[in-house]
Amino acid sequence: MSSLNLDDFTDLIERPDGGVRRDAEARRERQIVPPGSLGRLDDLGEWLAAAQSAVPVRPVERPRVVLFAGDHGVAELDVSARPAGSAGELVREVLEGGRPVSVLARRLGVPVRVVDMALDCAPESLPDEVVRHRVRRGSGRIDIEDALTLEEAEAAFRAGVAVADEEADSGTDLVVLGDVSVGGTTAAGVLVAALCGTDASVVTGRGGLAIDDLAWMRKCAAIRDALRRARPVLGDQLQLLATVGGADLAAITGFLLQSAVRKMPVILDGVVVAACALVAQRIAFRAPDWWLAAHSSGEPGQAKALDRMALEPLLDQGVKVGEGAGALLALPLVQAAAALAAELPDKPEPEEIQKAEESETGDGFEESDIT
């Protein structure tokens, strides 16, 4: 029996400040560029102002990429283009600067934090700050067994909460959230199908490396079998994460909820994070107001989850690599929206226009009056 009361998040999470958002909208109407002419950048600036409870909006100065990592036992079924248990290699490449997210983060000057929750590798092969929250070595094969025990799911969830607190306490003002996993998109597909009441085929995508048709069919069958195990526990979100999620997914869910509690905005990456967001929305319906959907990855499960949460992606570049890379591409847009909202000057008042015209024509006299 878990000692964690998820219902507390419903009471703890407030919506971003609606009054501040109205003030931001009023400020926008006064600015020299007509409202609406900047498209979604207007909405982004107003959303960020409400999240910060500040007008004018403050610049995003301390963003951070946070990646939760884990291996999934279901990858043994060859549902991924990567070998089962190889997520640790991806993590090492991220840390060494060789992954897309590493390159983008370096270019944008954003630090990257990786949190190992269930990698299938020796913990001593990675830095202590990466492995200190690890719950177990690999998550269970969800088509035939639970991903985690309930106690492990609670520990992973609490780890996500703790990481969110650490980031908020350190001054992080926006998080780019992603995952590093092998088999994670299969677990994500199960969660989305279960919570949206759809069939496995509707949510089964081809992953970051575009699996072939046979692998897609194996993945679809694995999601179908896991879905049968998920449906009886739909009313208990922690048990759902234990049954068909994984330690990394449970941690992401806890992180998303606690970030909303701490009023720390989050940019969501791909299908894994979207699936966790859907679970978090079931726990606390106000939480999605603190999140931005960065991009459309082309994964059907992600599209289904974002549609259910009424979150519209900012970008559509077909980035499927995961690891927060697509979400990081959206960060400059958010920073641009903040700069425009804060720095565009107000349009001049009619009196100021008249004075300017008078000064140009000689204190109000027309040229024809001068002889």
Catalytic residues: 323
DSSP secondary structure string for all residues of 58-95: PP---EEEEEEEEEBGGGGGS-SSSPTT-HHHHHHHHH
* H-run or E-run covering 363: none
* Tokens matching residue 179: 């995952």
Amino acid (one-letter) located at 151:
E
The CA distance from 247 to 147, in Å, is 8
Q: How far is CA 23 from the centre of its chain?
A: 26
DSSP-based three-state secondary structure for 28 = helix
Dihedral angle over CA of 224, 228, 230, 234, nearest 10: 120
The CA distance from 119 to 89, in Å, is 10
Contact 151, 105 (CB under 8 A): no
Contact 245, 141 (CB under 8 A): no
